[in-house]
């Protein structure tokens, strides 16, 4: 441990014991997703799905009081103090989201934490949706077992430790929670997409988890505020640099932006679903998935951040000093100057694992390069 960080270590342990286990993504995952989807289709899209969630027993007031009582002013390093301050404030916002899960206030708390799409975000999404479809999709689909095999080979090649679970009640095709990789048992994706999932979930989400575990302080395991945008941006960048980012994938990210915008304005699951299905020609299962993602919890605005995050991270990758230090843990671009200095001072360790496609990028064609750089 770096000399003179006794107070930081004590604060770090206290903070970790208070908030480790507050997982917003797990909290907003509906427990009755498959049943509600079946009911919605059976009723010919005429009902609003009623999602239910795991019960939360946190005493929000008590927890927030304990967080604000943490003595961050005693942290010896100014850069580190700033990160702790921002992380504590972001957890207060997360607690408010979890407390209001399933109620009308959830949307307000989600907007406060993640924000909402700007006109620029909507213009970017519309630009992508007007692109001609490419035929770069493999027609042969890979199921959950096939995805598992691709992920296992990828993890072995790069020496990643992880647990793999096939889950029957997921919205996403795959996700990483700490060092557990979950694959949706119903997943069926083109081969290129299965490889993209490995670069996205293992190459970034698992890598940043493993690097965070290799830090002397646990704060980078908890995550910087709205690290979602940076983490998802890096994950999409990983797909792109590996040569696996398809036009179809970009269009799904664009549809999510429009779905979040519709959800905020219309507040009607059915209206958003019908917009995707009828106006934009989205296949009904995909339209349901995208709509469910943004309506879960009572209105979850996170999904517009993927496209914005990709734009920001792509520019940081090409232009910013010390970009790879974003892989130190669950970091955010806004804290890159502090993180770079903390690595230089020896307070944080440089990343042990580096996203494979960041070191050895594939050469994307001119069209793909033009499209990704045209996102403003």
Residue 45 placed within a domain = no
Burial of 227 (0-12, 13-18, 19+ CB in 10 A): buried
Cα 13 to chain center, whole Å? 25
- Look up residue 276 and give its DSSP letter: I
State the pLDDT at residue 177.
83
State the pLDDT at residue 4.
57
Residue 15 placed within a domain = no
Packed helices 247-266 and 105-114: angle between N→C axes, nearest 10 degrees? 130
With a cut of 50, which residues of the chain have pLDDT below it? none
State the pLDDT at residue 187.
87
Residue 81's Cβ-side half-sphere holds a number of Cα atoms within 13 Å equal to 9
State the pLDDT at residue 201.
93
Residue 258 placed within a domain = yes
Whole-angstrom CA distances from 70 to 89, 131, 226, 300 are 12, 51, 21, 29
Residue 32 placed within a domain = no
Residue 310 placed within a domain = yes
Which domain range does residue 183 map to? 115-374
Cα 34 to chain center, whole Å? 22
Please state the φ and ψ torsions of residue 165, each to the nearest 5 degrees: -130, 135
State the pLDDT at residue 226.
78
Rounded to whole angstroms, the Cα distance separating 121 from 323 reads 24
- In angstroms, how far is the first alpha carbon of the chain from the final one? 42
Residue 254 placed within a domain = yes
> Are residues 296 and 169 in contact, defined by beta-carbon separation less than 8 angstroms?
no
Residue 24 placed within a domain = no
Burial string for 155-180 (b: 16+ CB within 10 Å, else e) reads beebebebeeebbeebbbbbbbeeee
Number of structural domains, the chain?
1
> Are residues 203 and 273 in contact, defined by beta-carbon separation less than 8 angstroms?
no
Q: What is the pTM of this model?
A: 0.92
Tokens of 53: 């969630």
Residue 14 placed within a domain = no
> Are residues 343 and 349 in contact, defined by beta-carbon separation less than 8 angstroms?
yes
């Amino acid at each position: 441990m770096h000399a003179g960080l006794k107070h930081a270590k004590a604060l770090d342990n206290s903070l970790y014991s208070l908030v480790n286990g507050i997982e917003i993504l797990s909290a907003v995952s509906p427990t009755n997703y498959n049943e509600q989807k079946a009911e919605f289709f059976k009723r010919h899209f005429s009902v609003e799905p009623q999602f239910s969630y795991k019960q939360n027993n946190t005493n929000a007031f008590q927890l927030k009081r304990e967080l604000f009582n943490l003595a961050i002013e005693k942290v010896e390093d100014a850069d580190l103090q700033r990160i702790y301050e921002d992380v504590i404030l972001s957890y207060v916002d997360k607690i408010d989201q979890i407390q209001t899960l399933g109620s009308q206030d959830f949307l307000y708390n989600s907007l406060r934490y993640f924000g909402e799409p700007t006109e620029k975000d909507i213009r970017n999404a519309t630009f992508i949706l007007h692109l001609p479809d490419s035929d770069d999709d493999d027609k042969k689909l890979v199921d959950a077992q096939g995805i598992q095999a691709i992920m296992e080979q990828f993890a072995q090649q790069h020496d990643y430790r992880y647990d793999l679970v096939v889950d029957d009640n997921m919205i996403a095709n795959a996700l990483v929670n700490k060092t557990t990789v979950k694959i949706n048992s119903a997943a069926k994706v083109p081969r290129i997409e299965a490889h993209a999932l490995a670069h996205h979930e293992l190459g970034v989400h698992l890598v940043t988890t493993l690097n965070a575990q290799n830090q002397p302080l646990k704060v980078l395991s908890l995550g910087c505020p709205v690290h979602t945008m940076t983490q998802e941006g890096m994950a999409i960048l990983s797909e792109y640099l590996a040569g696996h980012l398809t036009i179809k994938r970009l269009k799904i990210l664009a549809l999510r932006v429009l779905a979040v915008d519709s959800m905020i304005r219309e507040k009607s699951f059915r209206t958003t679903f019908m917009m995707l299905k009828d106006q934009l020609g989205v296949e009904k299962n995909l339209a349901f998935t995208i709509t469910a993602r943004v309506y879960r919890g009572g209105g979850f605005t996170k999904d517009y951040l993927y496209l914005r995050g990709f734009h920001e991270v792509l520019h940081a990758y090409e232009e910013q000093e010390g970009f790879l230090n974003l892989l130190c843990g669950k970091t955010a671009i806004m804290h890159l100057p502090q993180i770079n200095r903390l690595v230089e001072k020896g307070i944080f360790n440089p990343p042990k694992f580096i996203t494979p496609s960041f070191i050895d990028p594939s050469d994307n064609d001119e069209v793909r390069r033009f499209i990704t750089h045209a996102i403003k």
